[in-house]
């Protein structure tokens, strides 16, 4: 294992976060703060407690998951796509570095950046709502696993994308709507029976409820189902990235 190569890729990507601090950190924090102000403070004052917690506190896991998913995918997909766009990816491929080391460097940096933003979002939430975490170790486990899983997913998107439009399709048109329709701002029980059944086919529902259970011990979905679903998607992403980079999809003419 070439740890020098992994470290070089990792710190190069982390340095990009420092150079784009507003876009990487401040922008998602400001966006999430607006959600807390509008939904948590204004609308939340008109809604009774849900599952024993205030509405403002109830939406924290969903907003956290929204940030983690979008940031992980965006960081990782752009991280591998931009070298492809500029042609510098061929310098990396020509170096004595294995595919696994390239993946660890790029995905590790993306997951780290997303985790940092997630922690900042949690700290920010304490200024708006009363926050309690019943299972902090489980929450940390889900945070890390989510960042790794969707960083791998974003890496795969970046490999397969041929232009910036394709790069934005999945995060904007697929992932964000799925998060909003996955119980991030409400419980499944609030929906009519037909839409409850439809919602159970939304994979993000299991992620949001897993995170919510680690906070409040309450969820629409069994916690083990949520964890197994996340691990299963992680396995699919690992297999997809391994096949794509081994076959040279998106990196070979």
Q: Between 161 and 224, where is the model more confident?
A: 224
Residues 6+ apart with CB under 8 A from 100: 1
- How much is the pLDDT for 141? 92
User: What is 179-198 written as a DSSP string?
Assistant: HHTTTSSS-GGGS-HHHHHH
50 three-class SS: strand
* Tokens, residue 7: 């470290």
251 pLDDT above the threshold of 70? no
Q: What percent of the chain has pLDDT over 70?
A: 88
Instruction: Average the pLDDT over each of 26-30, 44-48, 142-146 and give the range with the smallest value.
Output: 44-48
- Mean per-residue pLDDT over the chain, rounded: 80
């Amino acid at each position: 294992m070439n740890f020098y190569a992994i470290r070089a890729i990792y710190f190069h990507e982390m340095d990009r976060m420092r150079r784009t601090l507003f876009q990487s950190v401040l922008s998602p924090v400001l966006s999430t703060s607006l959600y807390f102000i509008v939904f948590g403070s204004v609308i939340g004052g008109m809604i009774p407690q849900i599952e024993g917690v205030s509405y403002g506190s109830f939406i924290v896991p969903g907003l956290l998951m929204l940030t983690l998913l979008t940031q992980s995918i965006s960081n990782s997909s752009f991280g591998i796509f931009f070298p492809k766009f500029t042609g510098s990816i061929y310098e990396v491929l020509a170096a004595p570095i294995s595919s696994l080391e390239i993946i660890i460097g790029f995905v590790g940096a993306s997951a780290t950046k997303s985790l940092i933003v997630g922690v900042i979002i949690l700290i920010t939430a304490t200024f708006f709502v009363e926050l309690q975490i019943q299972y902090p170790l489980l929450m940390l486990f889900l945070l890390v696993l989510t960042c790794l899983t969707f960083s791998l997913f974003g890496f795969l998107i970046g490999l397969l994308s041929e232009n910036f439009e394709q790069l934005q399709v999945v995060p904007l048109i697929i992932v964000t709507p799925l998060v909003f329709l996955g119980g991030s701002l409400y419980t499944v029980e609030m929906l009519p029976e037909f839409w409850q059944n439809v919602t159970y086919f939304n994979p993000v529902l299991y992620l949001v409820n897993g995170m919510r259970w680690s906070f409040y011990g309450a969820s629409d979905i069994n916690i083990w189902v949520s964890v197994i679903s996340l691990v299963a998607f992680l396995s699919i992403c690992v297999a997809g990235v391994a096949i794509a980079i081994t076959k040279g999809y998106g990196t070979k003419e």
